[in-house]
A and B are shown apart, each in its own frame.
Chain A
Amino acid sequence: MAIRFLNKQPAVQQLSDEELVSRFSATQQETYFEELYRRYKHLAYGVCLKLMKNEEESRDVVSDVFKILFTKIPTSDIKSFKAYLYTVSRNECIAKLRQKKSEMDKMAKFNHVENSPTDFMESEGFAALFNAQPSMEQEVEKAVGQLGDEQKTCIRLFFYDDKSYREIATETGFTEKQVKSYLQNGKRNLRILLEKELRKHTT
């Protein structure tokens, strides 16, 4: 067995999010936080654009979000950085929208997200379970058969025929937004169905 003690430190670009968070927590060196900022600022901006519907305000919220992260990372137990970023971004947008009384009607659309692990973590746990199984083909086929017609159609066109959202929309007459929604819900339902199956196998 090759024993490699004290191998060279990898460049920050090669570190995982978890490693960056861990190292930033331990050392407070901005280099680690800078890499997280570089990786995710555009995504935080997009999330803010979706909720704020205003570019300038969205930029301000992104700035606030990363200031919060900079302060909170060292004292928080963060399991998934992107899940944490998503939660903080949404909550900051909602807080800003609450402040704007004239825009209170927008609030009805959004629910406050609690600071808890989201689908990200569930996906990772399930992925491990799913990938550890030797053959799931029959179970997947059975689960696809149990989906509603729209979800089934979109799932088959996307995963079996490699069609893009746009091509599926053209073929089915759904809008691209509907296609994405049917795929997201269909895949989530598949995961739930398969998880049940896998639990049966592993218990």
Chain B
Amino acid sequence: MDGNLQKLTFKPAACVSQEELRQYLSGDMNRQGLRRVEDHLLDCPLCSDAVDGFEASGEHATDDVEDFDSFRRKLPLTSTDNIRQLQPGSGLRRAIAVAAVLVVGAVAYFSFSQAPTGPELYAKYYDNYENDIPVSLRRPGLSDVDPNFAQALNSYTEHKYSQANMLFGRAIQAQPDNEAARFFAGLSLLESNQTEKASSYLSTVANGTGVYAKKAAWYLIMCDLKADNKASAKERLDKFIETGEIMVVEAKSLRDKL
């Protein structure tokens, strides 16, 4: 035994894909893939039970479950997404296409006659803010970088928001004046649907004079939209447009829709 302890990791990994599962069950997997899957099975009850289920039943057809197009017929119609799946062709398809046109018309009518909700506007105007802290400052272990902050930024970049939330919390506890930590904590909480907490962090940044102040003000508006608090969003947006430094076109367009 070579005693290489680095092979022991607790880092959560992606679940086993359908193709990996097929290869694993049929014994077609290469050594590297086998390693990844078997390591993941130790930590993931979902994948572990799934493999047990297939092995116990002798079932290796991992694609035996209906595809989404077939499954969607069992769902209530809630979105215009369905319309995109239709193609002209047979009489039946044409009839469906006509129905789709009528649905589009109805949707268009309601779109014009009803104001969009906060979450709908959020979906339209929100964009994930990329981690813009230099890589050199994200590396844990540097003497002047708080390891929780560095790790939190990495988790944020990898879209692991629950983990990032916890680590940003610790970083802020250690360095309450860390503006970037408060800004990214706010964004991470917003991604995790914790709009109230997100607003609290972003407010302190927006009320300050740091480099993230203006950007925090924009994301505060996004918090209001996500929480469907359009009145507050409108009020903040008016102030945001007044100063007019960034995002002017988007802000004015959003203001029109509110």
Contact = CB atoms under 8 A, between A and B. Distances in A.
A39 B17 CA distance: 7
B132 A124 contact: no
Contacts of A105: none
A96 interface: no
Interface of A: 1-7, 9-10, 15-16, 18-19, 22-23, 25-31, 34, 37-51, 53, 55, 58-59, 62-63, 66-67, 70, 77, 79-80, 82-83, 85-86, 118-121, 123-128, 130-132, 134, 136-137, 140-141, 155-156, 158-162, 164-165, 180, 183-184, 187, 190-191
A89 B242 CA distance: 52
Contact of B141 (A9, A26, A134): A134
Interface stretch (B33-41, B99-107, B198-206, B230-238): B33-41
A108 to B, nearest CB: 18
Nearest to A31: B81
B59 interface: yes
Interface string B140-178: 110000011001000100011111001100000000000
Contacts of A183: 42
A47 B49 contact: yes
B226 interface: yes
B45 A118 contact: yes
Contacts of B53: 45-51, 58
A127 B164 CA distance: 12
Contacts of A34: 68, 72, 81
Contact of B122 (A26, A45, A120): A26
Overall SS of chain A's interface: helix
Contacts of A45: 50, 53, 62, 64-65
A7 B133 CA distance: 17
Given A26-B226, A180-B41, A6 B250 contact: yes
- Listed from nearest, the 3 A-B pairs whose CB atoms lie closest are A46-B50, A50-B53, A49-B53
B4 interface: yes
A86 B49 contact: yes
A136 B147 CA distance: 15
A5 B163 contact: no
13 contacts: A27-B119, A43-B15, A46-B50, A46-B62, A48-B53, A53-B57, A62-B65, A63-B74, A82-B15, A128-B155, A141-B3, A141-B5, A162-B7
